[in-house]
Amino acid sequence: MKDIMGEISVLLRPAPKRIEEAEGRARRLAKALRNRRYGEFRIGRIMEYGSVFRGTALSAFADIDLLLVIDPESLGGVAGSTPSATGAIRNLAEFLQRRHKELAEVGKVAVWSQRHSVGVEYPEHRIRVDLVPALPTNKPDIVCIPKRDSAEWIQGCPRGIRERLDDLSISQPRVITAIRFLKGWRRAQELRKLNGYAVELLAVQAADDDENLSATRIVRRVWEGIARSSGGRHMRLMGARGKEPVNLIDPWTGANVLTGLHHQDRHQLAEAAEAALEDLRSLIQSVRAGDREWALKQAKRLFVGRQWESRAKSAQRGELFVGAKTQRNQEIPWGKAK
């Protein structure tokens, strides 16, 4: 079983060269933003943000995130009021489009508004830096960030989960691998409503134990917590009549990170978790029966997905297929820009 999951881990793990390239591109952009006087936009802090910097990104990731803590008054809106999140994203995108107009005209960079951020894409490097606008609060570690597909702001603690993962990696060194397994499962099964941050919180809760757990054991705990009726300490997916709220509480802000999941979404997640547990049992039986080839095929279907397997292998070789051609050391985002 260990060697099977080891092969899956390799398929899901980003190539170090790709990580280095993406982080370098993001940090160069951050330096440019810090060193320029942008007039109407007053940027306070720039924070490394998202799964790439936390070490939990999947192979062939499409983007890397930076969080810009901006003076609210410089984001537009009525004087003395907080601008809407969608308005802030739009204003920031329009501003950056003006700043990068010359580069955009020659195809060096593209800038556009997204649901949660402003995308800055570098076509030659096949990487997108997502700039997430944020508002400061009276707590230094807490900021307000845009809620996806909404004009609202929600509180977030960018350093909280990253520091917790760093600490937990000492006592539970396989937690990052477990997170990649869970994110791979979420993507392979198209569970779009279960966001990546929620997956990380679930894995942290499951690994918060004195014993040294395997990655597979952490994954199983998460699935069991989703599938069973009580749903664990912080997550209730299938309560009486299926009408209870879906709660996964962010320990740093107290916010429910699964706000917006409805009855149908809860059933889909619970059924997917139950099916995953059954698939895992079948996989283990195949290994015990000596049928390694079939077990590996089951594991790939569960954690990688048929539609992603060839791309994951190509990403590990430093190449991705573009139509009928293969281009080495170039990577295309797996999904279209948001």
Top-confidence range, 37-46, 77-86, 129-138, 205-214: 129-138
The lowest-confidence range among 14-28, 35-49, 139-153, 256-270 is 35-49
- The pLDDT of residue 322 is above 60: no
Q: Which of 132, 156, 180 is the last residue of a domain?
A: 156
Average pLDDT over residues 68-90: 76
CATH code for the domain of 70? 3.30.460
DSSP, collapsed to helix, strand or coil, labels residue 136 as: strand
Cβ-based neighbour number of residue 186 at 10 Å: 21
Using one digit for the tens of pLDDT, what is the confidence trace for 211-244?
Answer: 789 999 999 999 998 887 444 444 544 444 445 5
pLDDT at res. 167: 92
Residue 113 sits in the same domain as residue 87 = yes
More confident site: 325 or 70? 70
Residue 143 sits in the same domain as residue 172 = no
pTM: 0.84
- Per the domain annotation, does 316 fall within a domain? no
Domain count, the chain: 2
More confident site: 185 or 29? 185
Average pLDDT over residues 24-34: 86
Q: Where are the alpha helices (DSSP H) in 196-335?
A: 196-207, 215-227, 263-288, 292-303, 306-316
Q: Domain of 106?
A: 16-156
Q: Which of 101, 136, 156 is the last residue of a domain?
A: 156
- Per the domain annotation, does 311 fall within a domain? no
Residue 73 sits in the same domain as residue 206 = no
- Per the domain annotation, does 292 fall within a domain? yes
Residue 149 sits in the same domain as residue 232 = no
Residue 173 sits in the same domain as residue 262 = yes
pLDDT at res. 39: 55
Cβ-based neighbour number of residue 204 at 10 Å: 21
In whole numbers, what is the pLDDT of the chain averaged over residues? 81
Residue 64 sits in the same domain as residue 106 = yes
Residue 282 sits in the same domain as residue 173 = yes
CATH code for the domain of 210? 1.10.1410.40
- Per the domain annotation, does 77 fall within a domain? yes
Residue 71 sits in the same domain as residue 115 = yes
- The pLDDT of residue 320 is above 60: no
CB proximity list for 73: less than 8 A, separation 6 or greater: 42, 79
**Strands 127-136, 63-70: pairing kind:** parallel
Residue 167 sits in the same domain as residue 279 = yes
- Per the domain annotation, does 252 fall within a domain? yes
pLDDT at res. 70: 87
- Per the domain annotation, does 180 fall within a domain? yes
pLDDT at res. 96: 84
Residue 21 sits in the same domain as residue 131 = yes
- Per the domain annotation, does 27 fall within a domain? yes
Q: What percent of the chain has pLDDT over 90?
A: 47
Using one digit for the tens of pLDDT, what is the confidence trace for 252-308?
Answer: 998 888 877 777 888 888 899 999 999 999 999 999 999 999 999 999 999 998 766
Q: Which of 156, 177, 207 is the last residue of a domain?
A: 156
Average pLDDT over residues 101-127: 84
Question: Residue 99 — very low, low, confident or very high, per pLDDT cuts 50/70/90?
Answer: confident
Average pLDDT over residues 114-125: 90
pLDDT at res. 184: 95
CA dist 265 to 51, 189, 238, 262, Å?
Answer: 24, 13, 10, 5
Residue 142 sits in the same domain as residue 44 = yes
Residue 300 sits in the same domain as residue 164 = yes
- Per the domain annotation, does 324 fall within a domain? no
